[in-house]
Amino acid sequence: MPVSSLRVIVLEDHSFQRAIAVSMLQQLGCTDVFQAADGAEALAVLNEVGPVDIALCDLRMDGMDGLEFLQAVGHSGLVGSVIISSSLSADLRRTVRQIISLLDLELLGDIGKPLHYETLERLLKKHCSVPRTGAPPEPLETVPDEAQVRQALAAHELCAFFQPKFILETGETTGVEVLARWRHGSGKVLSPACFLPVLERHGLLDDLLCQQLHQGLALQQQLRTQGYELNFAFNLHAAQLSSGTLASQVRGLLGEYGARGASLTFELTEAGMLQAPETSLECLFRLRMMGCRLSIDDFGTGFSSLQRLFQLPFNEIKLDAGFVQALAQEPRCRAVVSSTLALGETLGMTVVVEGIETDEQRQHLLNLGCTQGQGYWCAKPMSSGDLLRWLEGQQQRSQRA
């Protein structure tokens, strides 16, 4: 993507600094640059001009401040990436970065003030260099109701997308995470943020998981015939662990598709792990007995106790992407990554780092001892057809090397 095609909005209440930021962006080649003095004005601009790729955002503003604005656009699709430009203290900006990671927004950079041309240029190039594989999710104009989601399930419009996991040193693909997307009748591909809450509220998560397991295992079977042995990871909600049929359902599907338990991973968020009742232990035990791997997803965003971590039979930790964003600038982030790696090694658990977007981040993680990761540096979530073509391209590049 060329810089000239980027759509950027500048949120800054100081008119002179706002003018400087707009001028810098235009000098760097951006032709669609919008501006606002606070969050409310920015929302009005976005309602008029539509979604933007990047929001260059101050945090402390009169009226609606930057954090309120980010909370308003989170999960909406109106803003793709965020650059924080604020004079607030490092600990406060760190908190905002954490909130951004929970709002389904991509943090492109935290550059403080004053704004520097070279730094801004680097971040724009970083955004443009990220591979854009497959169709990006788009927001629904209205929140779907139960009937619409049930109809989408019945019509198999809620389909599986796949994001590769890879070896940091070589880029070799080791597996994929299976993610839900809605191929809406309008032709758009919709984010799970618009339909997963409805599924959860009306007890339909098991129906979605069943469809994803069939789609994932069928693709995995096809890949095996082509020489690819990839682990497929599926997301579980804590409530699904109390089902007395989940383990037997997985066992039956493994037999149907001729797959081994070791070829599947089930990911449960750290918060979900805390909510899981003691009766869930039997389900986790039976999945592990079949050879399936169990992963703690978004590790570091919840407040799990070490005792709970010790009690549950997980064998993988997925470190949340928020710790990667400021890895080069934040000693605390490096400390968290190093501590998690040490914890994983002590407990005999693999550590997978999420949210790797740049080669610089990959190199930092390698230096800290990380071996496995996931993120846009390798590939975005993609359809089954795109994944097959992507793997073939990887194989051809490897043979030429």
Which residues are tagged catalytic? 354
Q: Return d(Cα 219, Cα 266) in angstroms, integer.
A: 17
Query: Read out DSSP for 94-111?
Result: HHHHHHHHHTT-EEEEE-
Please report which helix (H) or strand (E) contains residue 42, including its range: helix 39-49
Tokens of 74: 């989170």
Annotate 162-190 with DSSP letters as a single string.
Answer: EEEEEETTT--EEEEEEEEEEE-TTS-EE
Identify the helix (H) or strand (E) that includes residue 294: strand 293-299
d(CA 336, CA 300): 8
Two tokens at 111?
A: 């550059």
Query: Exposed/middle/buried for 359, CB within 10 Å: 0-12, 13-18, 19+?
Result: exposed
| 367/360 Cα distance (integer angstroms) | 11
Dist. CA 352–CA 293, nearest whole Å: 13
CA 155 to chain centre: 26
3-state SS, residue 60:
coil
Q: How far is CA 146 from CA 152, 154, 199, 239, in A?
A: 10, 12, 8, 19
Strands 52-57 and 79-84 come out as: parallel
User: 279: which DSSP letter?
Assistant: T
Pairing of strands 231-236, 79-84: unpaired
User: What is the number of residues in the chain?
Assistant: 401
3-state secondary structure of 10: strand
Q: How far apart are CA 76 and CA 42, in angstroms?
A: 14
Write down the residue that tokens 């998690």 correspond to: 340
Closest CA to 111 of 4, 2, 17, 3: 17
